[in-house]
Structure 1
């Protein structure tokens, strides 16, 4: 009875040792008698108890790894405190088990040395501008070396670049000065544009005024010319009408009467405009005056 119970317990232990369930995205490395035998895939796996043993367990998911902060020297001899984060994934469980005694430490150390080398080739200002180039350089170096460790380096990201306090204050002062410079330049450009706009406006206003004055002079000249033409035309028509009127019977007598009236009216106006009056010697002979005027009219005719 005791022997049967012992055999049953031994069988249960054997079965338990023989059956192994590997979780998804995991890989277990099995050694048989101290030598690599197989890699157990996710799911139910059977091994030989007491002969096979699970030596390594690897997770195949992407793993973030913090790279400790370190001091790097730039090309212009400035100290920078840099830290970052590395993302890797185990791609070959066998190499991850036997390619390196500690691939995590190896990746971390290589990331730090590669980072120091990349930053040492750049000046301080370039390190802030070319973070992507630094990240790519670290990933390229790590990926090449980690291939023999069964690890794939996916990406590296710099978290912080911290210069010394004195350098940081100097950079802030430089940024402030640069912003003030841009503000002064913008203000001067604004004043320049303002003066240009004012000058342009004054020029256009002067041109408009001159054009208006020119048009006004032209209009006045055209008005005067039209007035002179109208007066001349009216005068010509009046003379023509007078000449035609003289041709009719009694026309000459009417002209004599009109000339006499104008003669008398002219002397009356002379008397009104001044205290001194100069009269011709034959003032009493009005007929003689009219006859003289008519002789002039006949001559002009």
Structure 2
């Protein structure tokens, strides 16, 4: 009877020892094993066996990337402005032995280090720099915290400031400053647009003046050429061209006077002698340009010489045979 109880007790003891010696480590974790209070080994993920009773698991270290919140804290900037800032930090354990034995409460230590480093970095900057250079601040925080945690077997992968809240009066002042800056830019843009418009208008007027001057120059050349031709014709003894030239100018002046917006009433006839002279000159020119034609003799008689008549002379009355 006693032998049976002994066997049962021995069997139970073996089972208990077997169970306590087997360690299943999940993926993403490492277990620190101590033997009689001294570091023995590090168990990697999977099935592991340790010496029972005298060996035990000291710590279960998470090897994955872990996030730590950096609580809100008040920071005094270089120009004595009080701001409230908070952030978030990511780290990963590279050496589980150092993370276990080199620091107590790893996450709390990293959180406290991030808070003090944030106050140091932000306190060395002005408020304007603090609000406009957030990326530079994050880089400085990451570099400082990563160097401090290197002896703990930890690598800080990223640190970000989530919010920076300046005082309410400073926010209002910044709003007024922003509005004034936008108004200034709008005025500058309007002034530039007005300047460009004036330049374009001036350039258009200059081009129009150049074209008008060129047109007047060509018209003057044409007038000079016409005057020269008339002078040559007069020098050769032909006065009809001079009469036609003066009559044309008279007609142009009369036409301009008739279509003038200031002209209300024009009474005719008006100095028709000038018009008659112009038409006479034109008639003489056409007569000189046309070849001469022999008059047709009447039946049974000698040829009759037509009487010379001007463009405004009345036709002669026919002669009667009985009178």
1:206, distance to aligned residue in structure 2 (A): 0.9
Q: Quote the residue 1:171 is aligned against.
A: 174
1:201 counterpart = 2:210: no
* CA distance in 1 between partners of 2:99 and 2:236 (Å): 122
* CA distance in 2 between partners of 1:16 and 1:231 (Å): 142
Q: Gaps (5+ residues) in structure 1?
A: 236-260, 273-301
RMSD, matched Cα: 2.3
* CA distance in 2 between partners of 1:9 and 1:224 (Å): 142
1:163, distance to aligned residue in structure 2 (A): 0.4
Task: Give TM-score scaled by structure 2 length.
Answer: 0.70
What is the 5 A alignment of 1:89-238? 89-229=92-232
1:3 counterpart = 2:14: no
2:162 counterpart SS class: strand
Superposed CA offset, 1:252-297 (max 9, x none): xxxxxxxxx9xx97xx99xx9xxxxxxxxxxxxxxxxxxxxxxxxx
2:125 counterpart SS class: coil
Q: Quote the residue 2:59 is aligned against.
A: 56
* CA distance in 2 between partners of 1:147 and 1:218 (Å): 94
1:34, distance to aligned residue in structure 2 (A): 0.8
Tell me which protein shows more helix as a share of its residues: 1
Q: Quote the residue 1:16 is aligned against.
A: 19
Distance 1:4 1:234, change over 3 A: farther
Q: Gaps (5+ residues) in structure 2?
A: 239-304, 314-323
**Structure 1 residues 109-118 or 78-87, which shifts more?**
109-118
Task: Give TM-score scaled by structure 1 length.
Answer: 0.75
Of 26, 41, 45, the match for 1:42: 45
Superposed CA offset, 1:109-133 (max 9, x none): 1111111111111110001122122
* CA distance in 1 between partners of 2:237 and 2:33 (Å): 134
